[in-house]
Structure 1
Amino acid sequence: MTQRFAETHRDTLRKIFVYLCVFSVHLCVPTLKAQSAEATMQKQGLVDVQKVDPSILVELKYSTTDNFVGKDVYGELTRAYMQPMAAQKLAEASKYLQAHHPDLRLLVYDAARPRSAQWNLWNALPDLPEKERRKYVADPREGSIHNYGCAVDLTVATKDGKPLDMGTKYDFFGELAYPSREDELLKAGKLTQKQIDNRLILRTAMRQGGFSSIEYEWWHFNALSREKAKMAFRIVD
């Protein structure tokens, strides 16, 4: 009976088998991509920042839809990786922050970024002139400091993860996010003193850890210059 049934419905069974195989592969793809991204970073010597300092909070914005692309760019990758020297600097910044503000924590929004994701971010701004686009997203052909695992985007939050008011959201494109314009924006009433004070808490801690800030984004900090990162490390692809 079983053999006769199999012979009669051989084509149908074959189709079901193929469907199940394809379906199972699709289920595994996100996990494989995540494992591949993490494995690549680990192979290149990058470390999970929360293993260096478990008190650091992490919410990778490009693993969510809460970013300027409006899409999940990283997939299942939700851990923040950096070069060991950069992760150690971040731990020093975290230590300084907690020593001076015990109820506050660093909250990481982005760290090491695969170049494939860099292309996605670059291509998400097709209407901006290239000079303007370079303010916010490094050209993937040259590589971002994020691509070398030597940059971090972050804010300051309460222990339970509520970010302090910095005057703009993360990845805000415009002068309100420019550290270089804060005095002017305060006088114009576009930023409050409290918002600037919160930014200073972040900048002070990060500088104490050995990071440098940039002109256009209050959330972005570099552990090394692009030139030094290129000499010391390889891009994460």
Structure 2
Amino acid sequence: MRELVIFFVLFLLGSCSPVQEKEHVEDETNVTIIFSDSLRQKTDFKPAPLYAIDSLEKKIITAGLVNIQTLIPDIIVDVRYSTPNNFMQRDMYGSLARIYLQPSVAEDLQKSQSALKEIDSTLSLYVYDGVRPRSVQQYMWDILEMPIHEKTKFVSNPKNGSLHNYGAAIDLTIADSSGVPLDMGAEYDDIRKIAYPRYEKAYLDSGLLTQYQVANRELLRKVMKAGGFWNIQTEWWHFNRYNRAKARELFEIVE
């Protein structure tokens, strides 16, 4: 009889809150296991590094210029002067990974992108450079070892202020659906005369440029003209939106 009473008391104790607490613990354990499994499945996942805005970019933003990708999300950006892959063969911009232009110039660039998409929706403008603060321009001018008459073909004298310094000029090309730049017969920042639009016919006649390469350059000029830009005669990739006098009237140089 005494054993029966003990059994009955233990049965009552076992049917009360301690069991519920145990079930609650098991639920928490299950949640933890599921969470751990989820983490285990994502061990190869690495979050993208946070983008840090440095002093150069802060200067550009403070001057009122805009990141072109906020206005033209499908445009491709490759900031070459943030790498050694340019004719200066050194990093000029540091961590800058965005292209900035004056707001009105960015809006006109959007027109050029739209004009290109109307011709071929698989193509996109592919941008190398936009605003270039004069402090960077000065550094480029100082270290570029060329005779003055040659140097001014590729880097404007910072005393005068270039259209890049105003955020009113842009360097770019066209890319295909895979994001690969079209063949222009000369790479970006190529200082050889084969990159000069003024010599295209001569190079075409000699066979050093193909009709396909020239046609790609002509397409770039056509769609940029739709946004009000024009090409210079020593760089197939460089387009101005305003002349220097108009840029000076409308904008301030980004120092």
Distance across 1 between alignment mates of 2:99 and 2:106: 10
In structure 2, the partner of 1:133 is: 151
How far apart, in 2, do the equivalents of 1:227 and 1:160 lie?
39
| Alpha-carbon distance in structure 1 between the residues aligned to 2:132 and 2:189 | 15
Q: Does 1:153 pair with 2:210?
A: no
Superposed counterparts of 1:93-104, under 5 Å: 93-104=112-123
Offset at 1:129?
1.5
Cα deviation, residue 132, structure 1: 1.4
CA apart distance, 1:115:
1.1
Aligned equivalent of 1:15: none
Q: Whole-Å Cα distance in 1 between the matches of residues 196 and 240 of structure 2?
A: 16
* Matching residue within 189, 197, 201 for 1:183: 201
Aligned counterpart, 2:214 = 196
Aligned to 2:95: 76
Query: What pairs up with 1:1-237 in 2 under 5 angstroms?
Result: 31=52, 34-126=53-145, 128-237=146-255
- Count of matched residue pairs: 205
Q: Give the AA of the match of 1:188.
A: S
Per-residue deviation, 1:117: 1.2
- The structure with higher relative contact order (CA 8 Å, sep 6+) is 1
Bigger radius of gyration among the two:
2
Identity %: 45
Shift of 1:150: 0.3
SS state of the match for residue 67, structure 1? coil
Q: Which runs of 5 or more residues in structure 1 are unaligned?
A: 1-29
The alignment partner of 2:126 has SS state of strand
Q: Distance in 2 between matches of 1:129 and 1:171?
A: 18
Deviations 1:27-78 (A, max 9, x none): xxx95xx432222222221111000110110001001111011111100111
Residue aligning to 1:11: none
C-alpha distance in 2, partners of 1:162/1:190? 22
SS at match of 2:175: strand
- Residue segments in structure 2 that go unaligned for 5+ positions in a row: 1-50
Q: Alpha-carbon deviation of 1:114?
A: 1.0
Q: Distance in 2 between matches of 1:158 and 1:206?
A: 17
Q: For 2:205 and 2:154, how far apart are their aligned partners in 1?
A: 25
TM-score, length basis structure 2: 0.78
Who is 2:12 aligned against?
none
